[in-house]
Structure 1
Amino acid sequence: MDCASLNPMPEAAAFRRPPSEVMRLARMGSAHPTRLSFLRNLLRRVIEEGWTFDRPVWEIDATGVGRAVYRATGPDRTYSLVAFAHDLPDEMRSDRVIATAWDATFALFDGEPTSADLDRLQANVPLQEAGRVSPLELTLSRANRSVRLFGHVIERLAKGLQPDMAEVEAVGYLMRTTAVYGSGKFGAADRAAIADRPELSAPFQAEMLSVWLTRQFTVDIAEHLAFVRGGAAAVRLDSAIKKGLGVGNSTGLGMAPFLVRHPVLLNNWMMAREEALARVRSQDGASAEAVAGFRTALGEARENAELWQSSHPIQIEKLAALRDDLSSLADRISTWPERNSQKPWDALWHWGETALSLEGQEALIALMLEPNGDLVDGLADCMTADEGASFRLDGAMTVATLSASLRDHYDWVLGIDFDQPENVARFWYVSEEKLEPRLGNRFEEDGASLEQPLCIARLAQDLHSALAAWPGDVALAAFLLAHPEHRFMARRVQILHRYPYAEVQDNLIAEQMLPIDLMRCKLAFFGASRFDPRSDKWVRISLFQGLPYPSDMSPEGWP
């Protein structure tokens, strides 16, 4: 289903927030994971379809080196995470993309690997970018141990003790991934090869499955090493402590441009979430079950906010506001919903718009969706996109029509003065060494001649000026024949005509622009929690924290 043609509930259409409100960086940079997030979508599917999980291969030695296979069996297909554990000296452990060695490396295999497949992968997967995988592999990834927590957990379990909860809560994961590659990178299967599979058709399902199985590996290898060290005295992780551990992730600037480069996909993600919120707000009442679910979700959100730590000044301020907001929300719902009140969810939302910060308002969205799965979960099916079909340029459109559409959808652009240095201070480019997106300072660094077309606001203003010199009844094709440099932006204007949430409505080359706002928005759709920026270009998060493990769904128990 295409979200652009999504037929909203008629009564909900009036409650949808406009793009001018939703698509601003400050709000996008306050996004929270919801039940529509991709990892939640994966977990719903594997539970509803009765997938089974096991570990048919565990060839890890006493030093923690070797290989393992985690098998996920669904109704139609089987997928296998092939994991390689390494002995990495502390001085070689790095979160940077230029690292060349890791504590563990992984590939998600399409089917069940043979011994020959495992040997082939063992020769390539530990090399990551320097190796090559095949179309039988869906993802390629790597992870490093948390130096602080991994050793502590092994030491305590080996002695028959559980880890210190203060240590567990301070970190929240045993290992963190530093890259999860898919969609054809380094020889892996292209997205088009798997897009028609129901279990992988939604965005990033192969990547989410890979990370979820990796989470199981992080616990398994820690327990393995604890038993090697402690023998009969060693114990396994307590189930409650284990549930509180996610998979960490360290993500850099390479993620930020994705939302700009995939406008239709961005629209569909945003529209699905906005339609979900509108459906909840439009309800005439709030059932006792939904109210109870909301209160439970709020309690969990308050607990998470207390455990959520950051050393970044901006995020520290946001966290303080969030904790205050959730406390205010708890006070507000003590008498909510009022007896005989009409549209209580909408009333609660309107209260939040005036009483809460952006951080609190976006958290409120997640809380309102949580107990209303019957209304909103189906929208996860319309979060993908056929971008090839959407990007076809309509040359028959007149200059007047395109100009009018540009004024309607890019009105926020027309007042920006690009002669002011602060409005053109940044430029996006691709590094020669790693072919990764980077952000430069136009007035201090070389490379602006290699600028990528992510300066959408400036490109839109340039197109607006160029169109003004042409008669309105001329076909766009004639204009673009004379000015091919505007093809890229003309196509985006046409896209926005059909996909209203396709554009970030901020200047992405401004001096004060924060790339972490783009990153947080995308990560929230993944389902990431504990967003912890280390700069405006680098962030750590946690995935699957508080959620079940594959071993929880194994009818035969776990090794």
Structure 2
Amino acid sequence: MTDILCRDPNTVMRLQRLGSIHQSRLSFMRLLTRRLAREGWRFQQTAFEVNDKGEGHAVYTAHGPDRAYSLIAYAHDLPAEKRSDRVIADAWDATFTLFDGVPTAADIERLSHNIPVQEAGRVTGTELSVSRANRSVRLWEHVVSELAAGRQPDAAQIEAVGYLMRTTAVYGSGKLGAADREMIADRAEFRAPFQVEMLSVYLTRWFVLDLVQHMANLRAAAAGAEAAQLSPELARSMGIGNSTGLGMAPFLLNHPVLFNNWVAARENAIRAVRNLAKASADEVALFRELVDRSKLSIAAWHSEHPIQIEKLGDLRADVAKLDTYLAQHGLTGAQPWDVLYSWAEQALSLEGQEWIASLILEPYGALVDGFAEEMAADNTATFRIAGAMSIGDLRALLKDVYAWAIDIDWQAPENRARAWYVSEEKLEPRLGERFEEPIEEYEQPLAPGRDAAQLYQALAHWPDEAQVAEFLLRHPEHRHVLRRAQIVGRAPYAEIRDNTISDRVLPIDMLRCKLAFFGATQFDPRSDRWVRICMYGNAPLPTELTVENADFWVFPDQETVLEETGA
């Protein structure tokens, strides 16, 4: 039997492939729901004080084996002209914090002066995250009006949008004074990445559904009538939307060890499954079932952006090819998952290849879920530069990791057309046109390929036996990228192996990659620099969560689709 190795970083870490990754068993939302169900977390709404204008607050508490956490939600009556998804907005339809424990009345009062103003406010170490959300105005009004009239809302309209509210930011890790990551990293429930944020969004969805029902009830009562109760199937079908822009893109570049650990966990899981000698009948049956359910998601995935439209066309063609493959070959031979993936590499688009790479993990929770324990990077000491490394070894390392960059003509304007900088007004990352805007002096070190190529050139006349420390004494300007190269030498999936400042770079590839690890679906780019997604669509509500439904909710169920559409 052939021992299948992990995929080559030079293959995996190209932007086009990273921008085609799909959610998987190791996605952070699914890690959370599995844990909440497995450990028997208990959920309760402990306050809901919202008036007929939609103003007030609510509290939702999650009780775990050792600790409790509470989402404090503040609802606002926001004029339409103030509603904006831009990060520079200063008012929202709802604002939130995830509180460490159960808040007192004094906590709720204190936070009522800070959470609704977001960046203009300040919080403390008892607050773990700060977030905000806006309504999908068209769908919100449709759902409220239909329920108030005693009818269920139209499933087709719900499917077209997918969410009643979308977050415009979910901040954690010390933002605005909230608890630093180090304060909670040793808690079992938060060891995996972004679990605070995922719990916050999960509870936010519960609040949003309660709020829309509350507003419908009030509208019906004012007319002397009784509102319909939103059907559980329709409620479950709606997730929380998210609008994400350039602010998220540099994260993958600025956290190389963490990014490596995410990708390495997924690649190790893919390798483990590809190395299985055979697949049982039950494992094949589950895979085929989830392929069929995945088709429903792909069929419902719409976008108006030309890039995503083309990718969706490719993916739908890939679905048909997979059907033909499974009909002709099945999964009964030796190393069937490796045979399937190797076929996909030759026959499918990048979107289809990564769809298959994620899907083959699904029948093997016992084999692959443990890799999630390796996805955090909290205990990684700051990488000190290994000054004793020889120039010869450094040169070889650069050739191995950055060969793609060394071969680029960095004098050509198209290869350095863009520059990353931070806006003065909002301290948010931006990507500008180097030769059209006066931004070069403010450029951030987010072009590691170019910097590595410059380092390689600077080493040209240095003897192999010289040490890195000697070189840096004379050329300290290369310190940042030399450290980065040594990090990637230990963490092979830490570096995006593409030019991040070319005229062809698509930041949405970086956004898609990060959001897929979150567990997002229905990626809908609105430009090459921002994207809308849906989180927790089809997930059981906290009060419905069981071990049986905690995992595969991300795949639509045919029976549920029929119920929603009335077919």
TM-score normalised by length of structure 2: 0.94
How much has 1:107 moved relative to structure 2? 0.4
Q: Deviations over 1:115-142 (max 9, x none)?
A: 1100010000000001111111010000
Report the Cα distance in structure 1 between the residues aligned to 2:377 and 2:341, rounded to whole angstroms: 30
* 2:54 aligned with 1:64: yes
How much has 1:553 moved relative to structure 2? 3.7
1:411 paired residue among 400, 403, 409: 403
Report the Cα distance in structure 2 between the residues aligned to 1:414 and 1:138, rounded to whole angstroms: 43
Report the Cα distance in structure 2 between the residues aligned to 1:331 and 1:278, rounded to whole angstroms: 25
Report the Cα distance in structure 2 between the residues aligned to 1:236 and 1:33, rounded to whole angstroms: 32
* 2:505 aligned with 1:513: yes
Report the Cα distance in structure 1 between the residues aligned to 2:323 and 2:5, rounded to whole angstroms: 24
* 2:492 aligned with 1:500: yes
Cross-structure match for 2:36: 46
How much has 1:334 moved relative to structure 2? 2.5
Runs of 4+ residues over 3 Å off in structure 1: none
Q: Report if aligned partners of 1:52, 1:553 keep a CA contact under 8 Å in 2.
A: no
Report the Cα distance in structure 1 between the residues aligned to 2:502 and 2:66, rounded to whole angstroms: 49
Q: Report if aligned partners of 1:59, 1:67 keep a CA contact under 8 Å in 2.
A: yes
Q: Report if aligned partners of 1:390, 1:495 keep a CA contact under 8 Å in 2.
A: no
Cross-structure match for 2:161: 171
Q: Deviations over 1:396-427 (max 9, x none)?
A: 11222111111122111111001100000000
Report the 3-state secondary structure (helix = DSSP H, G, I; strand = E; otherwise coil) of the residue aligned with 2:150: coil
How much has 1:109 moved relative to structure 2? 0.5
Cross-structure match for 1:476: 468
- Please give the residue correspondences for 1:11-160 in structure 2 after superposition, counting only pairs within 5 Å: 14-160=4-150
1:190 paired residue among 161, 180, 183: 180
How much has 1:196 moved relative to structure 2? 0.8
Cross-structure match for 2:317: 324
Q: Report if aligned partners of 1:15, 1:281 keep a CA contact under 8 Å in 2.
A: no
- The one-letter code sitting in structure 2 at the alignment partner of 1:234 is A
Cross-structure match for 2:369: 377
Structure 2, unaligned runs of 5 or more: 548-567
How many residues are paired up?
544
- The one-letter code sitting in structure 2 at the alignment partner of 1:493 is A
2:274 paired residue among 271, 281, 293: 281
- Please give the residue correspondences for 1:443-454 in structure 2 after superposition, counting only pairs within 5 Å: 443-454=435-446
Cross-structure match for 2:554: none
Report the Cα distance in structure 2 between the residues aligned to 1:513 and 1:78, rounded to whole angstroms: 43
- The one-letter code sitting in structure 1 at the alignment partner of 2:345 is E
Report the Cα distance in structure 1 between the residues aligned to 2:187 and 2:69, rounded to whole angstroms: 12
Report the Cα distance in structure 2 between the residues aligned to 1:465 and 1:260, rounded to whole angstroms: 22
The alpha-carbon distance between structure 1 residues 337 and 136, as it changes in their structure 2 partners (threshold 3 A), is same
Cross-structure match for 2:298: 305
How much has 1:338 moved relative to structure 2? 5.2
Q: Report if aligned partners of 2:421, 2:444 keep a CA contact under 8 Å in 1.
A: yes
Report the Cα distance in structure 1 between the residues aligned to 2:329 and 2:40, rounded to whole angstroms: 37
The alpha-carbon distance between structure 1 residues 290 and 117, as it changes in their structure 2 partners (threshold 3 A), is same
- The one-letter code sitting in structure 1 at the alignment partner of 2:386 is D
Cross-structure match for 1:486: 478
Report the Cα distance in structure 2 between the residues aligned to 1:453 and 1:461, rounded to whole angstroms: 14
Structure 1, unaligned runs of 5 or more: 1-10
How much has 1:281 moved relative to structure 2? 0.9
- The one-letter code sitting in structure 2 at the alignment partner of 1:542 is C
Quote the RMSD (CA, aligned, Å).
1.4
The alpha-carbon distance between structure 1 residues 191 and 387, as it changes in their structure 2 partners (threshold 3 A), is same
Report the 3-state secondary structure (helix = DSSP H, G, I; strand = E; otherwise coil) of the residue aligned with 1:389: coil
- The one-letter code sitting in structure 2 at the alignment partner of 1:333 is L
Cross-structure match for 2:198: 208
The alpha-carbon distance between structure 1 residues 264 and 387, as it changes in their structure 2 partners (threshold 3 A), is farther
Report the Cα distance in structure 1 between the residues aligned to 2:486 and 2:244, rounded to whole angstroms: 32
* 2:359 aligned with 1:367: yes
Report the Cα distance in structure 2 between the residues aligned to 1:507 and 1:409, rounded to whole angstroms: 13
Q: Report if aligned partners of 1:12, 1:278 keep a CA contact under 8 Å in 2.
A: no
- The one-letter code sitting in structure 1 at the alignment partner of 2:235 is K
Cross-structure match for 2:447: 455
Q: Deviations over 1:485-514 (max 9, x none)?
A: 111111111111111111000010000000
- The one-letter code sitting in structure 2 at the alignment partner of 1:112 is V
Q: Report if aligned partners of 1:391, 1:491 keep a CA contact under 8 Å in 2.
A: yes
How much has 1:12 moved relative to structure 2? 8.9
How much has 1:466 moved relative to structure 2? 1.1
Cross-structure match for 1:347: 339
The alpha-carbon distance between structure 1 residues 554 and 400, as it changes in their structure 2 partners (threshold 3 A), is closer
* 2:277 aligned with 1:263: no
Report the Cα distance in structure 2 between the residues aligned to 1:234 and 1:470, rounded to whole angstroms: 78
How much has 1:335 moved relative to structure 2? 4.2
Q: Deviations over 1:423-482 (max 9, x none)?
A: 000000011111111001001111110100011111001111112222222221121111
Report the Cα distance in structure 2 between the residues aligned to 1:122 and 1:336, rounded to whole angstroms: 61
Report the Cα distance in structure 1 between the residues aligned to 2:398 and 2:96, rounded to whole angstroms: 45
Aligned residues: percent identity? 57
2:232 paired residue among 230, 239, 249: 239
Report the 3-state secondary structure (helix = DSSP H, G, I; strand = E; otherwise coil) of the residue aligned with 1:284: coil
Q: Deviations over 1:211-269 (max 9, x none)?
A: 00001111010011111112452122111111111100001100001001111111111
How much has 1:292 moved relative to structure 2? 1.2
How much has 1:387 moved relative to structure 2? 6.6
Report the 3-state secondary structure (helix = DSSP H, G, I; strand = E; otherwise coil) of the residue aligned with 2:165: strand
